Structure formats: C-alpha cells, structure tokens
Amino acid sequence: MAQINVAELFKQTRRKLKLSWVAGLNGGSNTLTSETVTKPSLALIGHLNFVHPNRVQVLGCAEMDYLRSLPPDEAITAIENLYSTDLAAVIVANGEKVPKSLTVAANKHAAPLFTSTLRSPELMEILSHFLAQAMADSISLHGVFMEVQGFGVLVKGEAAIGKSELALELITRGHRLIADDIVDFYRISPDRVEGRCPPLLQDFLEVRGLGILNIRALFGDNSVKPTKPLDLIIQLEMADKLAPQNLDRLSIKTLHEEVLGLKVSKVHIPIAAGRNIAVLVEVAIRNHMLLLRGINATKQFTQRQQREMKKNRA
C-alpha cells in the first residue's frame, strides 16, 4: 500500500503550494495512504467538516470566519474535537491569520499546521493531484522508456539484445529518453499508466562499449523527459530464436500486455542483421496511430484479396 508522510509531502509541495510549517513540528511522520484515497467515506482532503473530518483539513476564508464567529470556549472545543480524530495535517489557506488555539492544538496533538497564501480551492486542486500521483499503484519494469513521435513507448527484450543502442539511435533522430534499465509505472487514473524515471537514473543511458552517457549533457534538455503515459510496448526478439510458425507475417491479432491492470498495445519486432530497428520502431508507432484511427492495413489487404478471389470465381 503506497503512502507518504507529512514531512515528505511538505518537502515536495512547499514551493508550489507556498507552504509554511508553523506548528506541530513533531508530526512529520504522520502518514497518508493510498487506502485513504480510494475510500469515499474517508476523503483525503477537504474543507472543515466536524462531522466527517478529513485526513488533511484545508481551512479557507469561510472556515476561519466560522471559527472566529464562535465564542472562545466553543472554538477551542471544536478545534479539539477536530484534532482528536485521525488527522494528518491542517492547512490554513488564503493567507488567513492563524489563531493561537489552532497552534496550541497542533502542538498538543503532533499534527502539523501549515499556512499558505493560495486560495483554498486552488490549493486543494493541486494537492489532490499531487497525492493521486504520489500514492498511485506502481510497478517497476525492466526496459527503456522513450517518447517517440509523441507516444510513450516501452522497449523490452532480453539482456544485450540492443535496447540501449536502439534508444541512442532514436535520441539522435529527435526522440526523447525518459528512463533506461528500470522504469517506474504508476496507475494515476482508471485509463492511464504513467512511466517515470527513478531519480538515481535520470538523464543516464548505459550503452555497452561506451559506458554511462549523460543524455541531457550530450544532446540538450529536449532529449529527455521526466514522465510520459504508456501507450505502446515494443518487444524485441532475436529472429533466429523464433520458430517460423511463431512469426506473424500479417499481424492479424492485436497483442496486449497488462500493466497495473491496464491493457497496453504490444508489438513484437524480430531482431536480425541488417534490420534498421529504429525505423521499424518509428513505423510501428505510426501504424499504431492509424489503428487508433480505425485504419488497419492488414484488414484492408485481406478485404482486397477476398474481393479479387470473388472476381476470379465469377
């Protein structure tokens, strides 16, 4: 089960959300989990709600006005009730002044209290998006992940088959590297799996005989990209290891591979001496584009052949 603690959440979002940590410094280890995200009854982020408190409470102008409208004793009681729940953190948005009772409660219950100058709806939108990505189901796969002609392409194959050399050729042709060797994939929405490069490997490509290459330094910033949705899987296979009966000359069947429960289109490309694999990959992606538009060359050829056969019988 994916999770993130409040200290890491603050570290990764403080600039974008313009956060300041004002109280509850001992609560950095409080965690938010993916299980919380998926349960509708346990909303992860929300405005002040004393009936169903959220894991991260966002207090905007209306919420702070409500607290200020309460008599001091009732306001303290309401805040104590809020902090007595399984609360991870509180964010006071809109640059609102933080009452002392909130600070005292945050320190008492070791629940971080942040302030932000952003408007509460904007803050919630950004934070919700961040948490959805940070705590999505994930898997790490071996291969090279590229952006080729705008599509996210995972190149797979056994060791030493030439994946990195293919990636280098594609980069020289203007395409972009996302990750080499290990790719982290996240199910960020029901119909989308996103690939990311582990921080340790960013910008690097290992090519036998050349060693580790810094692609950004060699080819510029446009040669690399941090993330990309997965659109297509290219499986490289040695042609001499494939039995003739396993070679699909017409590609009548559309192949798929499941990644985090999502079916992703897959193309097998046999590797043999003299074959320009980079060109084959580019054409495979162009053909994938046509298939998405409903243009299937194999079906067109088959239909044309059947028409000719009918003419010959007549």
Phi then psi for 230, rounded to 5 degrees?
A: -85, 120
pLDDT (tens digit per residue) in 10-37: 999 999 999 999 999 999 998 887 655 4
Q: Strand pairing partners for 32?
A: 4
Question: What domains, with CATH codes, occur in the chain?
Answer: 3-134 (3.40.1390.20), 137-300 (3.40.50.300)
Phi then psi for 2, rounded to 5 degrees?
A: -70, 145
Is residue 69 a contact partner of residue 63, using CB atoms and an 8 Å limit? no
Helix axes 72-83, 61-69, angle to 10 degrees: 130
Enzyme catalytic residues: 142, 163, 181, 249
Q: Which of the residue ranges 128-142, 223-237, 287-301 would you say has the lowest mean pLDDT? A: 128-142
| 54 has pLDDT over 60 | no
pLDDT at 251: 63
The whole-model pTM stands at: 0.69
Tokens for 142, please give them.
């071996």
pLDDT (tens digit per residue) in 267-287: 999 888 888 999 999 999 999
Residue 143 host element (H or E): strand 137-148
pLDDT at 249: 64
Q: How many CA atoms lie within 13 A of 138 on its CB side?
A: 20
- Please report, rounded to a whole number, the percentage of residues in the chain having pLDDT higher than 90: 51
CA-based Rg of the chain, rounded to a whole angstrom?
Answer: 27
pLDDT (tens digit per residue) in 179-234: 999 999 998 888 899 999 999 999 999 998 899 999 999 999 999 999 999 999 99
What does the chain come to in residues? 314
* CA–CA separation, 259 and 193 (whole Å): 8
Q: Strand pairing partners for 57?
A: 46, 90
Is residue 281 a contact partner of residue 269, using CB atoms and an 8 Å limit? yes
